[in-house]
Amino acid sequence: MDTEAVRLARRVSEGAVEWLGRMRGEFALPDVPEHEIDGNALKSLSELTLAAGMVHREAVAGRQCAATAESLLDYAWRQFKEGDMLYRLQTHTPAATHPMEMYALFAAAGYRHAALDGLTAHLTGLRASRVTEHVPNRRLALVASARRIGLPVLDDVDALIEQTWLGGTPEPWMLDVNNAYGVTHTVFHLTDYGSDPDGLPEHLQEYLRLWLPVWVEVFAETRFWDLLLEFLVVGTCLKSPLFFPHVWELVAQAQRDDGMVPNGLTVPPAEPEYAWLNHHHPTIGAAGTGTLAVSRALTLTAAGTGNAS
Amino acid sequence: MTTPHQPSPNTVETATCVLAGALSRALREDDRSFGVRHSLGDWGDGTGGLAALRVLGADVLTPFVLTGRPLPAEDAALVRTAVRAHPAPRLQARETALWGTRDAALVDALAAVGVDGAGWEGLAPAPPPNGGLAADWLSLAALLVPLASAAHPFADAALRAQLAGRGPDLTRGLVRSLLRRDLLSAARLARWIVLDGQSGPAGQPSRLAGPPLLAPALEHLEVLGSGDPRVLLEVAVARRLMAR
């Protein structure tokens, strides 16, 4: 990845983090009984946590951006009542997996809740947790969550991988948007968002090095930024990463002056609080993707192999 | 109003589909009698039918070249008439080079069935030697799609030699075209793959990335492209090339 593309990726991600920082109020959980909180509200706040956690983990952001990310992590943790709410949600519905998945994002960033640690250790040890009927890539999310919390992984991970779309190495022209998000999440969970590229089996590395460039080209042509940003993350999660510098130029052009990155499907309203609804996800994606791209490019440069495409 | 050199609206496309359908049937069924003029019927006398011959280029000769049928004299004469009626465009360098390769393939195909077409009025001049193919898969695919009528065992040895080792790139182009629902481009790239790209993931099982993709891709094109005679023609040629 060339210097200019690294600069663009940094600019995109820092602009996105600052927008998220200003828009944090939109991520606030509604004032309703906890078990009635809408799933989308929980999901948005979790994704904010994930992106801020990546900025925190990679530690390549400038001072202001790093401080904003830290404050967003604190903000999200407070929204979840410093873990108490997640604990109550998990006890209210023990078979649900989302409280543990959300807690794992905080645990990875050093936010711990002793009672949740005990509860999740108990639940993941049950036979029930081997047979949760999620889509296959979501099962891998549970494995990744257990790892982040520090719990033993009792699942047959190879068998779970084989059940995913990516694990089947299917005809690459059969990708559709739904399966594409399945592919990206399979890679995210197996590599813990790029922190462990070796977690992705060799044959899937090979498959993605062959076909990811095609998929990126197709979705760059349609300007579908939300999915495209996820594909860019996938590229940076590979052992020999793919950076797609020409796509970073397109993403940088698409980013609004205020830092928001539109989803590429719907036209964002001018007022950021209205635009938030449909465009916070790609902006979160941009924050995390840019951070990872910069971090991996710097690591490769330091290792003297910085010319990977 | 029509003039001798200007086909009426839609006639070229319709005539091309009629001819493409007849060609692919002739390629699938060895025992079927086939003639170009006969297949075009009334289209053969109009400028639309003659233009269709130019659109399909060397592919109008595939039932003769690839199955051993003799070329009827009236068909050779019809091709010559079409070339004269619709001479290769020469306005832009890229266009001239494209037609140079297409017409060289036509002359090669004629030679393969015993007709000397070199020097016919209307043919493009021989293409200049290309300075090496594009290094990236996307540009390579964009170059090869309009040259599909030159994807023949007897055509352009220099171009084909440069495709050695480009199997993965050709297959990326095929996959992209399929994802864009551009079945004709996909079928044309599949044809190049059959000819020169089977060293890649299309033709070879990869220990890592899965079984070969060419057979399911051709089947996919036949099933999804069943309503488009031009897609079916490309696939029929590809299957003939595979059987050789």
Residues 6+ away with beta carbon under 8 Å from B152:
B58, B62, B65, B105, B108, B109, B195, B241
Give the type of residue at B216: P
17-46 in chain B: CB under 8 A from chain A: none
State how far the Cα of A292 lies from the Cα of A296, in Å rounded to an integer.
Answer: 6
State how far the Cα of B23 lies from the Cα of B233, in Å rounded to an integer.
Answer: 7
Model confidence at A206: pLDDT above 80: yes
User: Closest Cα to residue A175, out of A133, A135, A140, A207?
Assistant: A207
Answer whether residue B103 is part of any domain: no
User: Which of A200, A210, A239 best tests the B interface by mutation, with the highest count of B CBs <10 A?
Assistant: A210
Residue B47 shares a structural domain with residue B153: no
Whether B175 has its CB under 8 Å from any CB of chain A: the answer is yes
User: Which of A162, A171, A205, A227 best tests the B interface by mutation, with the highest count of B CBs <10 A?
Assistant: A171
Range of the domain at B172: 129-244
Q: For the domain covering A3-303, report its CATH number.
A: 1.50.10
Residue B172 shares a structural domain with residue B86: no
For the ranges A126-130, A299-303, B81-85, which has the lowest average pLDDT?
A299-303
Model confidence at A135: pLDDT above 60: yes
Residue B56 shares a structural domain with residue B147: no
Residues 6+ away with beta carbon under 8 Å from A216:
A228, A231, A232, A235, A244, A247
pLDDT for res B1: 42
Contact between residue A281 and residue A262 where contact means Cβ atoms under 8 Å apart: no
User: Closest Cα to residue A179, out of A227, A108, A229?
Assistant: A227
Domain count within chain B: 2
pLDDT for res B156: 79
* Residue showing tokens 């031009």: B230
Contact between residue A54 and residue A193 where contact means Cβ atoms under 8 Å apart: yes
Which residue, of B72, B93, B114, is where some domain finishes? Answer: B93
Residue B66 shares a structural domain with residue B148: no
B67 torsion bin: left (phi>0), alpha (psi -120 to 50), beta (else): alpha
Answer whether residue B56 is part of any domain: yes
Contact pairs from chain A to chain B, CB under 8 Å: 46
Which residue, of B93, B110, B139, is where some domain finishes? Answer: B93
Residue B229 shares a structural domain with residue B171: yes
Residue B44 shares a structural domain with residue B147: no
Phi, psi values for residue A262, rounded to 5°: -70, 160
Residue B211 shares a structural domain with residue B148: yes
* Residue showing tokens 């993707």: A289
Contact between residue B61 and residue B85 where contact means Cβ atoms under 8 Å apart: no
H-helix segments, B86-166: 93-112, 137-144, 157-162
More confident position, A79 or B212: A79
Answer whether residue B239 is part of any domain: yes
Exposed / middle / buried, residue A35 (Cβ in 10 Å: 0-12, 13-18, 19+): exposed
Token reading at A68? 């904003």
State how far the Cα of A77 lies from the Cα of A81, in Å rounded to an integer.
Answer: 6
Answer whether residue B54 is part of any domain: yes
Q: Could you tell me the pLDDT band of residue B6, with boundaries at 50, 70 and 90? A: low
Q: Could you tell me the pLDDT band of residue A211, with boundaries at 50, 70 and 90? A: very high
More confident position, B160 or B238: B238
Query: For B216-223, what is the mean pLDDT?
Result: 97
State how far the Cα of A122 lies from the Cα of A142, in Å rounded to an integer.
Answer: 14
Whether B52 has its CB under 8 Å from any CB of chain A: the answer is no
Q: Could you tell me the pLDDT band of residue A25, with boundaries at 50, 70 and 90? A: very high
Residue B85 shares a structural domain with residue B133: no
pLDDT for res B98: 92
Nearest residue on chain B to A207, alpha-carbon basis:
B209
Chain B residues touching residue A183 (CB < 8 angstroms):
none
Handedness of CA A201, A206, A207, A213 (dihedral sign): positive
Query: For A29-35, what is the mean pLDDT?
Result: 93
Chain A residues touching residue B174 (CB < 8 angstroms):
173
Query: For A178-193, what is the mean pLDDT?
Result: 97
pLDDT for res A46: 97
Query: For B98-111, what is the mean pLDDT?
Result: 95
Encode pLDDT of B177-187 as tens digits: 999 999 999 99
Residues 6+ away with beta carbon under 8 Å from B162:
B130, B132, B133
Model confidence at A269: pLDDT above 50: yes
Model confidence at A198: pLDDT above 70: yes
The 3-state DSSP class for residue A188 equals: helix
Query: For A47-67, what is the mean pLDDT?
Result: 95
Whether B220 has its CB under 8 Å from any CB of chain A: the answer is yes
Nearest residue on chain A to B213, alpha-carbon basis:
A171
Encode pLDDT of B118-167 as tens digits: 999 999 998 887 778 889 999 999 999 999 999 988 877 888 889 988 99
Phi, psi values for residue B178, rounded to 5°: -65, -40
The 3-state DSSP class for residue A194 equals: coil
Which residue, of B66, B93, B120, is where some domain finishes? Answer: B93
Model confidence at A304: pLDDT above 90: no
State how far the Cα of B241 lies from the Cα of B235, in Å rounded to an integer.
Answer: 10
Token reading at B157? 């040895």
User: Which of A179, A217, A246, A309 best tests the B interface by mutation, with the highest count of B CBs <10 A?
Assistant: A217
Token reading at B47? 């400028």
Model confidence at B8: pLDDT above 90: no
Q: Could you tell me the pLDDT band of residue B7, with boundaries at 50, 70 and 90? A: low
Look over chain A and give the mean of its residue pLDDT values, rounded to a whole number: 95
Residue B158 shares a structural domain with residue B77: no
Residue B205 shares a structural domain with residue B136: yes
Beta strands in chain A (DSSP E): none
CB contact under 8 A, A207 and B172: no
Residue B74 shares a structural domain with residue B140: no
Query: For A79-102, what is the mean pLDDT?
Result: 97
Token reading at B71? 């070329």
CB contact under 8 A, B168 and A172: no
State how far the Cα of B233 lies from the Cα of B22, in Å rounded to an integer.
Answer: 9
pLDDT for res B2: 43
ipTM of the complex: 0.92
pLDDT for res B9: 66
Answer whether residue B120 is part of any domain: no
Residue B83 shares a structural domain with residue B176: no
Q: How many CA atoms lie within 13 A of A87 on its CB side?
A: 13
The proportion of chain B whose per-residue pLDDT surpasses 90, expressed as a percent, equals 70
State how far the Cα of A242 lies from the Cα of A229, in Å rounded to an integer.
Answer: 13
Look over chain B and give the mean of its residue pLDDT values, rounded to a whole number: 90
Nearest residue on chain B to A171, alpha-carbon basis:
B213
pLDDT for res B52: 96
pLDDT for res B46: 85
